[in-house]
Structure 1
Amino acid sequence: MAERIICQGDIVDTVADAIVFSTNEHLFLSGGAGASLLGKHGKPLQDAMTRALAASGSKIAHRGSVFEIEPAETWGRMFAVVAANGFYETTREDTVEAIRLVLQRCSEIDGLKTVAITALGTGYGNMEIEDFVALFCGIDIPQPLESIELVIPSELFFREACLTNDRLGNPAKIAG
Protein backbone atom coordinates (compact mmCIF):
# COMPACT_ATOMS: atom_id res chain seq x y z
CA MET A 1 0.00 0.00 0.00
CA ALA A 2 1.30 3.44 -0.94
CA GLU A 3 2.39 5.78 1.83
CA ARG A 4 0.95 9.28 2.27
CA ILE A 5 3.23 11.87 3.80
CA ILE A 6 2.58 15.46 4.87
CA CYS A 7 5.65 17.65 5.33
CA GLN A 8 6.62 21.27 5.66
CA GLY A 9 9.05 22.60 3.08
CA ASP A 10 9.54 24.05 -0.37
CA ILE A 11 8.62 21.93 -3.38
CA VAL A 12 11.92 22.86 -5.06
CA ASP A 13 13.82 21.07 -2.28
CA THR A 14 11.74 17.90 -2.48
CA VAL A 15 13.27 14.70 -3.79
CA ALA A 16 10.62 12.83 -5.80
CA ASP A 17 10.26 11.17 -9.18
CA ALA A 18 7.51 13.64 -10.13
CA ILE A 19 6.37 17.04 -8.87
CA VAL A 20 2.78 18.27 -9.10
CA PHE A 21 2.01 21.96 -8.57
CA SER A 22 -0.68 24.57 -9.19
CA THR A 23 -0.52 27.05 -11.99
CA ASN A 24 -2.86 29.65 -13.40
CA GLU A 25 -4.93 29.53 -16.58
CA HIS A 26 -2.08 31.07 -18.60
CA LEU A 27 0.52 28.66 -17.13
CA PHE A 28 2.56 31.60 -15.85
CA LEU A 29 4.92 30.75 -13.00
CA SER A 30 3.92 33.87 -11.09
CA GLY A 31 3.16 32.85 -7.53
CA GLY A 32 3.43 30.18 -4.86
CA ALA A 33 5.10 26.96 -5.98
CA GLY A 34 5.34 28.24 -9.55
CA ALA A 35 7.39 31.23 -8.45
CA SER A 36 9.69 28.97 -6.41
CA LEU A 37 10.17 26.65 -9.38
CA LEU A 38 10.81 29.63 -11.66
CA GLY A 39 13.38 30.93 -9.18
CA LYS A 40 15.21 27.62 -9.33
CA HIS A 41 14.88 26.75 -13.03
CA GLY A 42 14.42 30.17 -14.65
CA LYS A 43 13.16 31.06 -18.11
CA PRO A 44 13.63 27.56 -19.60
CA LEU A 45 10.89 26.25 -17.29
CA GLN A 46 8.53 29.12 -18.16
CA ASP A 47 9.25 28.45 -21.85
CA ALA A 48 8.35 24.77 -21.35
CA MET A 49 5.09 25.83 -19.68
CA THR A 50 4.32 28.15 -22.61
CA ARG A 51 4.97 25.31 -25.09
CA ALA A 52 2.69 22.99 -23.11
CA LEU A 53 -0.18 25.47 -23.30
CA ALA A 54 0.44 26.12 -27.01
CA ALA A 55 0.42 22.37 -27.70
CA SER A 56 -3.07 22.19 -26.18
CA GLY A 57 -4.33 24.50 -28.93
CA SER A 58 -5.78 26.96 -26.44
CA LYS A 59 -4.67 30.35 -25.17
CA ILE A 60 -6.27 29.80 -21.77
CA ALA A 61 -6.42 26.55 -19.82
CA HIS A 62 -9.55 25.55 -17.98
CA ARG A 63 -9.73 24.80 -14.27
CA GLY A 64 -8.89 21.14 -13.72
CA SER A 65 -6.55 20.94 -16.73
CA VAL A 66 -3.34 18.95 -16.30
CA PHE A 67 -0.15 19.66 -18.24
CA GLU A 68 2.82 17.32 -18.30
CA ILE A 69 5.88 19.54 -18.58
CA GLU A 70 8.69 18.17 -20.72
CA PRO A 71 11.66 17.10 -18.55
CA ALA A 72 14.89 19.04 -18.96
CA GLU A 73 18.46 18.88 -17.75
CA THR A 74 17.69 20.79 -14.54
CA TRP A 75 14.28 19.27 -13.72
CA GLY A 76 12.59 15.91 -13.98
CA ARG A 77 8.93 15.01 -14.35
CA MET A 78 6.56 17.85 -13.57
CA PHE A 79 2.83 18.18 -13.83
CA ALA A 80 1.16 21.59 -13.72
CA VAL A 81 -2.49 21.65 -12.61
CA VAL A 82 -4.78 24.59 -13.27
CA ALA A 83 -6.43 24.52 -9.86
CA ALA A 84 -8.40 27.78 -10.06
CA ASN A 85 -10.11 29.76 -12.78
CA GLY A 86 -9.51 33.46 -13.47
CA PHE A 87 -11.75 34.36 -10.52
CA TYR A 88 -9.68 32.18 -8.15
CA GLU A 89 -12.51 29.67 -7.84
CA THR A 90 -11.51 26.08 -7.12
CA THR A 91 -13.77 23.05 -6.87
CA ARG A 92 -13.17 19.82 -5.03
CA GLU A 93 -14.42 17.84 -8.03
CA ASP A 94 -12.00 19.44 -10.49
CA THR A 95 -9.12 19.07 -8.05
CA VAL A 96 -9.85 15.39 -7.32
CA GLU A 97 -10.14 14.60 -11.01
CA ALA A 98 -6.89 16.42 -11.81
CA ILE A 99 -5.02 14.53 -9.07
CA ARG A 100 -6.46 11.23 -10.27
CA LEU A 101 -5.29 11.99 -13.81
CA VAL A 102 -1.78 12.90 -12.64
CA LEU A 103 -1.44 9.86 -10.37
CA GLN A 104 -2.70 7.55 -13.11
CA ARG A 105 -0.20 9.01 -15.57
CA CYS A 106 2.60 8.70 -13.00
CA SER A 107 1.69 5.06 -12.36
CA GLU A 108 2.16 4.36 -16.08
CA ILE A 109 5.72 5.74 -16.24
CA ASP A 110 8.38 3.08 -15.77
CA GLY A 111 10.42 3.55 -12.63
CA LEU A 112 8.28 6.36 -11.22
CA LYS A 113 7.52 5.54 -7.58
CA THR A 114 7.31 8.81 -5.65
CA VAL A 115 5.20 11.92 -6.23
CA ALA A 116 5.40 15.26 -4.41
CA ILE A 117 2.41 17.57 -4.62
CA THR A 118 1.58 21.06 -3.40
CA ALA A 119 -1.78 21.90 -1.81
CA LEU A 120 -3.51 22.70 -5.11
CA GLY A 121 -5.90 25.63 -5.09
CA THR A 122 -5.17 26.74 -1.53
CA GLY A 123 -3.00 29.74 -2.34
CA TYR A 124 -4.67 31.68 -5.13
CA GLY A 125 -7.70 29.41 -5.13
CA ASN A 126 -10.51 29.36 -2.61
CA MET A 127 -9.90 25.83 -1.29
CA GLU A 128 -9.10 25.65 2.41
CA ILE A 129 -6.05 23.60 3.47
CA GLU A 130 -8.32 21.38 5.58
CA ASP A 131 -10.37 20.49 2.50
CA PHE A 132 -7.27 19.72 0.46
CA VAL A 133 -5.81 17.51 3.21
CA ALA A 134 -9.08 15.56 3.40
CA LEU A 135 -8.98 15.12 -0.37
CA PHE A 136 -5.27 14.11 -0.24
CA CYS A 137 -5.92 11.56 2.51
CA GLY A 138 -8.88 10.05 0.68
CA ILE A 139 -7.72 9.73 -2.91
CA ASP A 140 -6.77 6.31 -4.25
CA ILE A 141 -3.10 5.93 -5.11
CA PRO A 142 -2.60 3.58 -8.06
CA GLN A 143 0.06 0.88 -8.07
CA PRO A 144 3.02 0.79 -8.49
CA LEU A 145 3.36 4.23 -6.85
CA GLU A 146 4.97 3.88 -3.43
CA SER A 147 4.42 7.31 -1.91
CA ILE A 148 2.73 10.63 -2.40
CA GLU A 149 4.01 13.55 -0.36
CA LEU A 150 2.07 16.74 0.32
CA VAL A 151 4.62 19.57 0.60
CA ILE A 152 3.41 22.65 2.46
CA PRO A 153 5.65 25.74 2.72
CA SER A 154 3.65 27.69 5.32
CA GLU A 155 4.07 26.76 8.98
CA LEU A 156 0.47 27.81 9.67
CA PHE A 157 -0.92 25.67 6.82
CA PHE A 158 1.30 22.78 7.90
CA ARG A 159 -0.09 22.93 11.47
CA GLU A 160 -3.65 23.02 10.06
CA ALA A 161 -2.83 20.05 7.82
CA CYS A 162 -1.53 18.08 10.81
CA LEU A 163 -4.69 18.86 12.82
CA THR A 164 -6.89 17.77 9.92
CA ASN A 165 -4.87 14.59 9.50
CA ASP A 166 -5.39 13.90 13.24
CA ARG A 167 -9.14 14.45 12.90
CA LEU A 168 -9.19 11.98 9.97
CA GLY A 169 -7.51 9.28 12.04
CA ASN A 170 -3.95 9.92 10.82
CA PRO A 171 -4.07 8.39 7.33
CA ALA A 172 -0.88 10.28 6.43
CA LYS A 173 2.53 10.14 8.07
CA ILE A 174 3.80 13.52 9.30
CA ALA A 175 7.39 14.28 8.35
CA GLY A 176 9.65 17.19 9.28
Structure 2
Amino acid sequence: MAVKVIRQGDIVDAVADAIVFSTNEHLFLSGGAGASLLGKHGDALQKAMHRALAGTGRKVAMRGEVFEIEPQGTWGRMFAVVAANGFYETSREDTSRAITGVLGRCAEIPGLRTIAMTALGTGYGNMEIEDFVEIFCAVELPSPIEELELVIHGYIFFKAACKTSEALGSSARLIAGSV
Protein backbone atom coordinates (compact mmCIF):
# COMPACT_ATOMS: atom_id res chain seq x y z
CA MET A 1 0.00 0.00 0.00
CA ALA A 2 1.34 3.44 -0.96
CA VAL A 3 2.18 5.83 1.88
CA LYS A 4 2.24 9.61 2.07
CA VAL A 5 4.42 11.36 4.63
CA ILE A 6 4.64 15.00 5.66
CA ARG A 7 8.00 15.58 7.30
CA GLN A 8 9.74 18.60 8.73
CA GLY A 9 13.30 18.82 7.46
CA ASP A 10 15.55 19.87 4.60
CA ILE A 11 15.19 18.35 1.14
CA VAL A 12 18.96 17.89 0.89
CA ASP A 13 18.76 15.37 3.73
CA ALA A 14 15.90 13.37 2.20
CA VAL A 15 16.54 9.72 1.44
CA ALA A 16 14.51 8.80 -1.64
CA ASP A 17 14.89 7.39 -5.13
CA ALA A 18 13.92 10.78 -6.60
CA ILE A 19 13.77 14.38 -5.42
CA VAL A 20 11.16 16.83 -6.76
CA PHE A 21 11.61 20.54 -6.09
CA SER A 22 10.51 23.98 -7.29
CA THR A 23 12.52 26.14 -9.60
CA ASN A 24 11.92 29.37 -11.45
CA GLU A 25 11.36 29.95 -15.16
CA HIS A 26 15.12 30.30 -15.78
CA LEU A 27 15.92 27.15 -13.75
CA PHE A 28 18.15 29.13 -11.40
CA LEU A 29 18.84 27.55 -8.02
CA SER A 30 18.40 30.88 -6.30
CA GLY A 31 16.30 30.41 -3.20
CA GLY A 32 14.59 28.01 -0.84
CA ALA A 33 15.08 24.38 -1.79
CA GLY A 34 17.08 25.36 -4.87
CA ALA A 35 19.62 27.26 -2.80
CA SER A 36 19.92 24.32 -0.38
CA LEU A 37 20.48 21.91 -3.28
CA LEU A 38 23.02 24.28 -4.84
CA GLY A 39 24.82 24.50 -1.50
CA LYS A 40 25.08 20.73 -1.32
CA HIS A 41 25.81 19.87 -4.97
CA GLY A 42 27.51 23.03 -6.21
CA ASP A 43 27.72 24.59 -9.65
CA ALA A 44 27.52 21.22 -11.41
CA LEU A 45 23.83 21.02 -10.48
CA GLN A 46 23.19 24.55 -11.72
CA LYS A 47 24.88 23.71 -15.02
CA ALA A 48 22.79 20.54 -15.35
CA MET A 49 19.67 22.65 -14.78
CA HIS A 50 20.71 25.05 -17.53
CA ARG A 51 21.44 22.17 -19.92
CA ALA A 52 17.93 20.85 -19.27
CA LEU A 53 16.42 24.21 -20.23
CA ALA A 54 18.75 24.63 -23.21
CA GLY A 55 17.55 21.25 -24.47
CA THR A 56 14.12 22.81 -25.05
CA GLY A 57 15.58 25.48 -27.35
CA ARG A 58 14.02 28.18 -25.17
CA LYS A 59 15.46 30.63 -22.67
CA VAL A 60 12.41 30.59 -20.40
CA ALA A 61 10.40 27.65 -19.12
CA MET A 62 6.65 27.69 -18.68
CA ARG A 63 4.84 27.44 -15.37
CA GLY A 64 3.96 23.80 -14.74
CA GLU A 65 6.86 22.37 -16.78
CA VAL A 66 8.82 19.49 -15.32
CA PHE A 67 12.51 18.94 -16.07
CA GLU A 68 14.38 15.75 -15.29
CA ILE A 69 17.89 16.70 -14.25
CA GLU A 70 20.58 14.31 -15.40
CA PRO A 71 22.00 12.32 -12.45
CA GLN A 72 25.62 13.01 -11.49
CA GLY A 73 28.07 11.81 -8.89
CA THR A 74 26.65 13.76 -5.93
CA TRP A 75 22.95 13.42 -6.76
CA GLY A 76 20.58 10.85 -8.16
CA ARG A 77 17.22 11.36 -9.86
CA MET A 78 15.94 14.92 -9.61
CA PHE A 79 12.95 16.63 -11.14
CA ALA A 80 12.69 20.41 -11.18
CA VAL A 81 9.17 21.85 -11.44
CA VAL A 82 8.61 25.39 -12.66
CA ALA A 83 6.01 26.21 -10.04
CA ALA A 84 5.65 29.96 -10.66
CA ASN A 85 5.97 32.31 -13.59
CA GLY A 86 8.11 35.47 -13.65
CA PHE A 87 5.47 37.32 -11.62
CA TYR A 88 5.55 34.61 -8.90
CA GLU A 89 2.07 33.44 -9.88
CA THR A 90 1.14 29.82 -9.34
CA SER A 91 -2.08 27.93 -9.87
CA ARG A 92 -3.56 24.87 -8.25
CA GLU A 93 -4.28 23.41 -11.68
CA ASP A 94 -0.71 23.77 -12.96
CA THR A 95 0.72 22.45 -9.69
CA SER A 96 -1.62 19.48 -9.61
CA ARG A 97 -0.89 18.68 -13.26
CA ALA A 98 2.87 18.95 -12.67
CA ILE A 99 2.73 16.63 -9.65
CA THR A 100 0.63 14.07 -11.51
CA GLY A 101 3.02 14.30 -14.47
CA VAL A 102 6.19 13.87 -12.45
CA LEU A 103 4.68 10.96 -10.50
CA GLY A 104 3.75 9.30 -13.79
CA ARG A 105 7.30 9.76 -15.09
CA CYS A 106 8.73 8.35 -11.86
CA ALA A 107 6.43 5.32 -12.07
CA GLU A 108 7.98 4.47 -15.45
CA ILE A 109 11.53 4.37 -14.09
CA PRO A 110 12.54 0.83 -13.08
CA GLY A 111 13.35 0.53 -9.39
CA LEU A 112 12.06 3.98 -8.43
CA ARG A 113 9.73 3.53 -5.46
CA THR A 114 10.20 6.53 -3.15
CA ILE A 115 9.91 10.24 -3.89
CA ALA A 116 10.64 13.25 -1.69
CA MET A 117 9.29 16.64 -2.74
CA THR A 118 9.12 20.20 -1.54
CA ALA A 119 5.92 22.24 -1.30
CA LEU A 120 6.00 23.48 -4.89
CA GLY A 121 5.18 27.14 -5.44
CA THR A 122 4.86 28.07 -1.77
CA GLY A 123 8.17 29.90 -1.42
CA TYR A 124 8.52 32.38 -4.26
CA GLY A 125 5.11 31.48 -5.66
CA ASN A 126 1.82 32.75 -4.34
CA MET A 127 0.47 29.35 -3.28
CA GLU A 128 -0.28 28.91 0.41
CA ILE A 129 1.03 25.81 2.16
CA GLU A 130 -2.54 24.79 2.96
CA ASP A 131 -3.43 24.78 -0.76
CA PHE A 132 -0.38 22.67 -1.60
CA VAL A 133 -1.17 20.17 1.16
CA GLU A 134 -4.71 19.78 -0.22
CA ILE A 135 -3.22 18.91 -3.62
CA PHE A 136 -0.63 16.60 -2.03
CA CYS A 137 -3.26 14.72 0.00
CA ALA A 138 -5.56 14.33 -3.03
CA VAL A 139 -2.99 13.08 -5.53
CA GLU A 140 -3.14 9.40 -6.47
CA LEU A 141 0.16 7.53 -6.30
CA PRO A 142 0.67 5.40 -9.39
CA SER A 143 1.99 1.89 -9.03
CA PRO A 144 4.81 1.03 -8.31
CA ILE A 145 5.41 4.21 -6.26
CA GLU A 146 5.41 3.16 -2.60
CA GLU A 147 6.05 6.44 -0.77
CA LEU A 148 5.62 10.14 -1.45
CA GLU A 149 7.17 12.38 1.16
CA LEU A 150 6.49 16.10 1.44
CA VAL A 151 9.53 17.72 3.09
CA ILE A 152 8.82 21.09 4.69
CA HIS A 153 11.74 23.11 5.99
CA GLY A 154 10.15 25.58 8.40
CA TYR A 155 8.41 24.52 11.60
CA ILE A 156 5.54 27.02 11.23
CA PHE A 157 4.79 25.79 7.70
CA PHE A 158 5.08 22.19 8.88
CA LYS A 159 2.52 22.81 11.63
CA ALA A 160 0.16 24.47 9.11
CA ALA A 161 0.59 21.46 6.80
CA CYS A 162 -0.20 19.07 9.66
CA LYS A 163 -3.31 21.03 10.58
CA THR A 164 -4.54 20.99 6.97
CA SER A 165 -3.77 17.29 6.55
CA GLU A 166 -5.63 16.44 9.74
CA ALA A 167 -8.62 18.64 8.76
CA LEU A 168 -8.83 16.77 5.45
CA GLY A 169 -8.82 13.43 7.26
CA SER A 170 -5.68 12.48 5.37
CA SER A 171 -3.85 9.30 6.24
CA ALA A 172 -0.48 10.99 5.67
CA ARG A 173 2.02 10.25 8.44
CA LEU A 174 3.27 13.40 10.16
CA ILE A 175 6.89 13.44 11.31
CA ALA A 176 8.38 16.43 13.12
CA GLY A 177 12.11 17.02 13.22
CA SER A 178 14.83 16.56 10.65
CA VAL A 179 14.80 14.14 7.72
Question: Which of the five TM-score ranges fits, normalised by the shorter chain?
Answer: over 0.9
Counterpart-to-counterpart distance in 2, 1:34 and 1:56: 21
Counterpart-to-counterpart distance in 2, 1:82 and 1:170: 26
- String of CA shifts for 1:41-75, please: whole Å, max 9, x gaps: 00000000000000011100000000000000100
Identify unmatched segments of 5+ residues in structure 1: none
Amino acid of the residue matched to residue 63 of structure 1? R
The 5-angstrom pairing of residues 161-176 of structure 1 reads 161-176=161-176
Task: Name 1:121's counterpart in structure 2.
Answer: 121
Counterpart-to-counterpart distance in 1, 2:166 and 2:100: 24
Counterpart-to-counterpart distance in 2, 1:38 and 1:159: 26
- String of CA shifts for 1:93-119, please: whole Å, max 9, x gaps: 000111111000100000000000000
Task: Name 1:64's counterpart in structure 2.
Answer: 64
Task: Name 1:139's counterpart in structure 2.
Answer: 139
Counterpart-to-counterpart distance in 1, 2:106 and 2:66: 12
Amino acid of the residue matched to residue 125 of structure 2? G
Q: Say whether residues 1:104 and 2:104 are aligned partners.
A: yes
Counterpart-to-counterpart distance in 1, 2:157 and 2:171: 18
Q: Percent identity?
A: 69
Counterpart-to-counterpart distance in 2, 1:92 and 1:26: 21
Q: TM-score by structure 1 length?
A: 0.99
Q: TM-score by structure 2 length?
A: 0.97
Q: Say whether residues 1:43 and 2:34 are aligned partners.
A: no
Determine helix, strand or coil for the equivalent of 1:140.
Answer: coil
Consecutive aligned runs of 4 or more in structure 1 exceeding 2 Å deviation: none
Q: Report deviation, 1:170.
A: 2.9
Counterpart-to-counterpart distance in 2, 1:2 and 1:170: 13
Q: Report the number of matched residues.
A: 176
Q: Report deviation, 1:175.
A: 1.6
Task: Name 2:6's counterpart in structure 1.
Answer: 6
